Structure 1
Amino acid sequence: MTAIKPPALSFTEARLRGIVESAMDAIITVDEAQRIVLFNAAAESVFGCPREQAIGSSLSRFIPERFRGDHEAHVQRFGEAGVSSRRMGSQRIVLGLRSDGQEFPIEASISHVSEDGHRFYTVILRDVTQRWLAEKALSASREEVREFALAASTAREQEKSRFARELHDELGQALTALKIDVSWLRESLMGAPDAVKAKLAAMQLLLDGTVAAARRISSDLRPLMLDDLGLAAACDWLAENFRSRTGLACELVLGEGDLDLPDPWATAVFRVLQESLTNVTKHSGATQVEVTLVRVAGEVVLTVHDNGRGFSISDPRKPGSQGLTSLRERASLLHGTAIVESTPGRGTLIELRLPVRDAEERR
């Protein structure tokens, strides 16, 4: 005798079947042996496989061969995990395999139910090829922009270096020669009228100030010791210059290992330290600064910590203030990170991390 389904149940099944068939996402259900028992119209379109050929076949036919073993183990662990559903491939791209052998990226979720002692797994997936291509193009575009910005930054630093060296070597030497000549005149004209002596003395003072200004401008543009003596010596000079200029305590700790990086890594570290100390002078009201520069686990790490007034990271940025943005930009150009931590009344910590594997290849 054949059992007759209640009308309500038949209507529910028909409605559910209609929902599954009209869904825009591919829906596939497999049994415990991972044999396909449901394959909707969207799945036919996505995989290019008629339903009649898919039903009863193994799900592995739609998975690239190199992933089949791992997939079966993942599904088994999912069934034993005690959760009813989860997203697949949340940490990486999941690939499907069309009937014509073409691989394509998918976004999928999996769930399971038990019926009459048997377990069934349902996968809902969508083809995200267009999104993946768009993200890939966007990533390539960002990399091109980053490389262009890095090249522009390097060109600026090279021009600053050239100008600083010309100031130091040519203008500096000329001013030094003038100082010697004025000193000679003062000694040779000891019996000259007082007005002449006063004028020569004023010329001497003006030349001294001009020489000092030329040296300061040259150092601000780019300290020659960064190119001549390396990063460690340049950072030591920067800390000493900060102490003498501000009167604040500044402790510099250089870690072990090779800290003399090539450009543009050396320039990035130096500029971040320079800008950080400038921010301390302008904004922090600190009395002490601690600077550490170490190389660890394939990274060079610079930290600058002051005991100043601090600030709230969430506060709106002051108009025209680009200091912290500049730090992050310098870091991102070299695939690094710049972290700023600050709390009102508890000072500010700036940490720069730059991967240096590429730097080794540049040597």
Structure 2
Amino acid sequence: MKPEAPASGAALDAPLARIAHAAHEAIIAIDESQHIVMLNPAAQQMFGCSAADALGSPLSRFIPERYRAAHGENVRAFADSGVPERSMAERATVVGLRANGEEFPAAVTIARIDGTGPFAEGRHFAALLCDLSTEQGLRFEIEALRRSFRTVVEFAPNAVWIAEAERIVFVNRACIALFGADSADQLLGRSIYELLHAPSRDAVRAAVARVLRCGDGGGDGMTLLGERVERLDGTLRDVDIALAALPDHGQTTLQMVISDVTRQRRESLEQEQAREALRKLSQRLVEVREEERRRIARELHDELGQRLTALKMELASLAPKSRRSALRERIGGMLEMLDDTVASLRRISADLRPLMLDDLGLDAAIEWLARDAARRMGIEVTVKLADSVPALDERVSIALYRMVQEALTNIARHAHASDVHIELAQQSGELVLTVCDNGVGFPAGAAAKEGSFGLLGIRERALALGGTLEVDNPPAGGGRLCVRVPLAPPAPDAPPAPPTLPASGPTPEVAP
């Protein structure tokens, strides 16, 4: 049976009753069984229900049926948690139900009432509600969101500042730490450009103008920059800056999120320098190997080749003088062995270093490679060499020769091709070497695939000349390998240009 309804604040001590009665916010008090024990005038107006009608009734009458079970569990869990106060609408609104059946969104803060007077026995709870469907409620929600936003920004791990007319009006804790300040007062009021490294200011100034003019940096609402900032002690930090306009603060308000990437850029620079050092070492090893190959090939040709030729001549001169046929047959067999040995010697010498590359040039060497591959592989190999290719220095010639040699070896091992075409041309200040076949083509990612040492070697030789390697499978089928190198490649002993950071200007010391 519903108890007799007292006045709206009759259950409260007089001071609390006066406060609740005068409050502009709706206040409802409930007991442990979630029955209403107090409903102030603002709550009566919000729900369209008098205190006399509401007191003693369950709170669920003001909650849509689909939310009642979940709401009851939330209140019970809150009561058992021992937490004295909690906002129930920080992330989302709850839904209320007026006496006329109308639903409305509301922000709710609930607190446990322990203590005195009518609340001395049992547990009681008071709920403060704001109707978000009214203008006042919307203002309340906006202000709550702003407070939440400020809290999130204040404790964000990245530095954040907000600037008004290019002057800093807000900084978070991470921003204070990034610039080495003791407090926000050391940064507030400064020009945003004052805290940038001088070579970075023009780029940021242009980005700010673009953001203020267009409202964003290019359609996604944000401009990203890689620049440098200057701490209060003068040391520099490498940073990534995300710059955006705040649309609800006018056309001069900017938010900049600054990520300190000094360590990452230093590590990236060190890794790039290590890669360049390894590339130079690899290039030098290739050069040393080529020099040794040439020396051995020359000695095989000049020393061993001449001695074998002299031995053959001596044996050939003995054959007519011998009267015994058995001896002549043995001499003939030895001459055949010498012929095979000389042929093997020439083949080994050519594999080590084709003398025709030194004596006749790259064109003749590539044509010899093509004829040799056609003979060994039993396929058709055609060569097209442009007449306009200028004379090349030894380093470029041997590199291109080795690339063709490795490409043909790769085709023999993997392509199952019957036709190969080799072309060397000059295009726009570059030498373009193309090797095409009608085989099975390259697997996806072949150039970077682990174990593709042949293609890796070609790519490293191309990089050493300042060039590039591309492999693909033409629509007509087969595989295509294309190497592009400049006609004037970098000097072999010239140090590689170090990778540059996004900020322009000299590279000063940075803080550790």
Contact 1:149 1:333 in 2 (8 A): no
Provide the rounded CA distance (Å) in 2 between the counterparts of 1:209 and 1:121. 83
| Secondary structure, aligned partner of 2:320 | helix
User: CA shift at 1:142, angstroms?
Assistant: 1.3
Provide the rounded CA distance (Å) in 2 between the counterparts of 1:298 and 1:97. 43
Between 1:323-332 and 1:156-165, the stretch displaced more is 323-332
Provide the rounded CA distance (Å) in 1 between the counterparts of 2:362 and 2:416. 27
User: CA shift at 1:73, angstroms?
Assistant: 2.2
Between 1:212-221 and 1:64-73, the stretch displaced more is 64-73
The superposition leaves residues 201-228 of structure 1 with CA deviations (integer Å, 9 ceiling, x where unpaired) of: 1111111111111000100111122233
Contact 2:381 2:420 in 1 (8 A): yes
User: CA shift at 1:70, angstroms?
Assistant: 3.6
Matched, 1:240 2:387: no
Provide the rounded CA distance (Å) in 2 between the counterparts of 1:198 and 1:175. 19
Residue in structure 2 matching 1:15, options 129, 148, 160: 148
In structure 2, relative to structure 1, the CA distance for the partners of 1:332 and 1:359 (3 Å cut) is closer
* Structure of greater relative contact order (alpha carbons < 8 Å, 6+ residues apart): 1
Residue in structure 1 matching 2:168, options 36, 41, 66: 36
Residue in structure 1 matching 2:327, options 177, 183, 196: 196
User: CA shift at 1:53, angstroms?
Assistant: 3.6
Between 1:179-188 and 1:321-330, the stretch displaced more is 321-330
| Structure 2, gaps ≥5 residues long | 1-135, 495-512
In structure 2, relative to structure 1, the CA distance for the partners of 1:47 and 1:295 (3 Å cut) is farther
User: CA shift at 1:114, angstroms?
Assistant: 2.4
Partner residue, 2:275: 142
The amino acid of 1:200's aligned partner reads: I
Matched, 1:260 2:392: yes
Q: Larger Rg: 1 or 2? A: 2
The amino acid of 2:175's aligned partner reads: A
User: CA shift at 1:362, angstroms?
Assistant: 7.4
Contact 2:179 2:231 in 1 (8 A): yes
Partner residue, 1:223: 354
Partner residue, 2:498: none
Please give the TM-score of this superposition, normalised by the length of structure 1: 0.85
Higher percent of residues as helix = 1
- Aligned-pair identity in percent equals 34
| Secondary structure, aligned partner of 2:222 | strand
User: CA shift at 1:318, angstroms?
Assistant: 11
Please give the TM-score of this superposition, normalised by the length of structure 2: 0.62
Contact 1:88 1:94 in 2 (8 A): no
In structure 2, relative to structure 1, the CA distance for the partners of 1:318 and 1:184 (3 Å cut) is farther
Contact 1:306 1:347 in 2 (8 A): yes
| Structure 1, gaps ≥5 residues long | none
Matched, 1:187 2:323: no
Contact 2:166 2:252 in 1 (8 A): no
Contact 2:156 2:174 in 1 (8 A): yes
The amino acid of 2:259's aligned partner reads: R
Partner residue, 1:121: 254
The superposition leaves residues 281-321 of structure 1 with CA deviations (integer Å, 9 ceiling, x where unpaired) of: 33333332211223444543211001223353369x99976
Contact 1:107 1:126 in 2 (8 A): yes
In structure 2, relative to structure 1, the CA distance for the partners of 1:344 and 1:187 (3 Å cut) is farther
Aligned-pair RMSD on alpha carbons? 3.0
User: CA shift at 1:343, angstroms?
Assistant: 6.9
Partner residue, 2:408: 277
Provide the rounded CA distance (Å) in 2 between the counterparts of 1:294 and 1:247. 26
Provide the rounded CA distance (Å) in 2 between the counterparts of 1:319 and 1:52. 56
The amino acid of 1:85's aligned partner reads: G
